Structure formats: structure tokens, C-alpha cells
């Protein structure tokens, strides 16, 4: 997958290097060409000097073929605008932005773009948002401690009770979408192929939710 990273600070450069190490093609955008030094001599991806919300700059970075976009510059406004352009103009599927202002982050979440505030932020979490297709964060309350996660039921959980998934992950199901219709599940609900769940979890168990969904053999109750 091709990933565009806007911002080549400590965070952006770390994400870009890690993405390339695991086999993805990467383009990094920054206004300051000196910032690309943080990528190191082994980085072979594109280095594009310019504004992350400028159409031509994004095209030079390969946004039209990107599967993911990360806006991690030092400015909230730049991150918000560039993330919206990536999602709304170019239709990039996985978009995430770093937002310093928690109030802005809350509004941005409602727009459907995961945002990561400074305090709870980690490179690992941003990597999950960019690459995970089975579990994704869709909303986080302002303190950053409680979040809602969208879960696509994996093959290993099909035919098993929702209660087993809740017990194994520590999360609690808020609602279930089946055949395009939302419904309130019960502990006896049996999961079916194609089901999507929205679960509530705390930040400290988010890794556990990811692992349980993607490795059901380790979560059997």
C-alpha cells in the first residue's frame, strides 16, 4: 500500500521509516526540506517539499494512489485541512490526523476522521489507524480515556457468542450492524459473517481489543 505522511518531525519521520520497513511505499511531505534529514540515509521513499493541503503537492506525493494518509505536522489547522482534502477530494480510505487541541479533536472525530491528541498519542496507535481494517477507532471523548471502536467480525469469531468476545477483549458492545441495519445486541447474540460491532473500551485495553479480534484463538473463553 502507498502511504502519504504530511509532516517530517520526530513523529512523521518515525512513522515513515516504520511503514517502509514493513513493506509499504511511502511519500513524506514537509515545507522545510531540511526536515527530511530525520528520515535517515536508508529511507528510499518520496520526499516532497510543499504544503500538505496543496493539490499539486499531494499529487506529487502520490495521493491519487494512496491507501492511507497521516497528517502529523505541528499545526492543527494544517492537519485538519490536509486530512479533509485527502478524504473528501481524493477519497483516501484510511486518514488520521494529529490534533493538539482536544476540543478540535472531538469535532474532527464527528466528521469521521480519527484524530490523535498529544497526550494519549503513540506511533503504534497511529500505525493501527492507518493499516488496520478489522478494528478502527471512530470516536474518543475529550480526556482521551474512553473510546468507541468499530470491529469487523473475523472468521474465528463467526458462530460464537458476543459475550465471549466481550469477556476476552474487555470491551462492551454498544450496537451491532447486520445486513446494513443497526440493532442492540444481547449477551446471547451469536456473531455472523459480515457483522460489524461498535464497542466501548478504555484506552488501556485498546491493544487487547485489537489482539482479541484479530487472533480469536487466543481469546477463547
Alpha helix ranges (H) inside the chain: 10-21, 55-60, 76-84, 102-110, 123-131, 162-169, 206-214
Q: At 164, phi and psi to the nearest 5?
A: -65, -40
Q: Report helix, strand or coil for 123.
A: helix
Strands 196-202 and 146-152: antiparallel
Chain segment 92-141, per-residue pLDDT in tens = 988 888 877 666 666 666 666 666 655 444 565 666 566 655 787 778 88
Q: What are the Cα distances from residue 114, in Å, to 88, 139, 158, 164, 216?
A: 14, 7, 27, 27, 25
The answer to whether 109 and 115 are in contact (CB under 8 A) is yes
Q: Which residues of the chain register pLDDT less than 50?
A: 119-121, 219-221
Burial of 119 (0-12, 13-18, 19+ CB in 10 A): exposed
**What confidence score (pLDDT) does residue 220 get?**
42
**What confidence score (pLDDT) does residue 124 get?**
56
Least Cα distance to 69 among 97, 44, 88 occurs for 97
Give the CA angle between residues 171, 175, 180 to the nearest 5°: 135
pTM of the model: 0.57
**What confidence score (pLDDT) does residue 219 get?**
46
Query: What is the torsion angle, in degrees rounded to the nearest 10, for the CA atoms of residue 42, residue 5, residue 114 and residue 122?
Result: 30
**What confidence score (pLDDT) does residue 50 get?**
96
**What confidence score (pLDDT) does residue 122 get?**
52
Domains of the chain: 2-131 (3.40.50.720), 148-218 (3.30.70.1450)
Q: Where does 142-186 show beta strands of DSSP type E?
A: 146-152, 172-178, 181-183
What is the distance between the alpha carbons of residues 181 and 179, in angstroms, rounded to a whole number? 6
Amino acid at each position: 500500500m502507498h502511504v502519504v505522511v504530511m509532516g517530517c518531525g520526530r513523529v512523521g519521520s518515525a512513522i515513515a521509516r516504520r511503514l517502509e520497513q514493513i513493506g509499504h511505499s511511502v511519500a513524506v511531505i514537509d515545507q522545510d526540506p531540511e526536515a527530511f534529514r530525520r528520515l535517515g540515509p536508508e529511507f528510499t521513499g518520496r520526499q516532497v517539499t510543499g504544503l500538505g493541503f496543496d493539490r499539486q503537492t499531494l499529487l506529487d506525493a502520490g495521493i491519487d494512489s494512496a491507501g492511507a494518509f497521516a497528517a502529523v505536522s505541528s499545526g492543527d489547522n494544517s492537519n485538519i485541512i490536509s486530512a479533509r482534502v485527502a478524504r473528501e477530494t481524493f477519497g483516501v480510505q484510511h486518514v488520521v490526523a494529529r490534533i493538539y487541541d482536544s476540543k478540535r479533536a472531538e469535532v474532527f472525530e464527528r466528521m469521521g476522521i480519527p484524530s490523535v491528541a498529544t497526550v494519549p498519542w503513540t506511533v503504534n496507535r497511529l500505525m493501527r489507524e492507518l493499516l488496520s481494517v478489522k478494528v478502527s477507532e471512530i470516536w474518543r471523548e475529550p480526556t482521551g480515556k474512553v473510546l468507541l471502536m468499530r470491529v469487523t467480525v473475523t472468521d474465528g469469531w463467526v458462530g460464537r457468542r458476543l459475550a465471549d468476545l466481550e469477556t476476552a477483549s474487555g470491551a462492551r458492545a454498544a450496537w451491532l450492524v447486520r445486513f446494513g441495519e443497526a440493532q442492540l445486541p444481547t449477551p446471547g447474540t451469536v456473531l455472523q459473517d459480515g457483522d460489524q460491532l461498535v464497542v466501548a473500551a478504555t484506552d488501556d485495553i485498546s491493544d487487547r481489543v485489537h489482539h482479541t479480534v484479530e487472533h480469536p484463538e487466543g481469546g477463547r473463553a
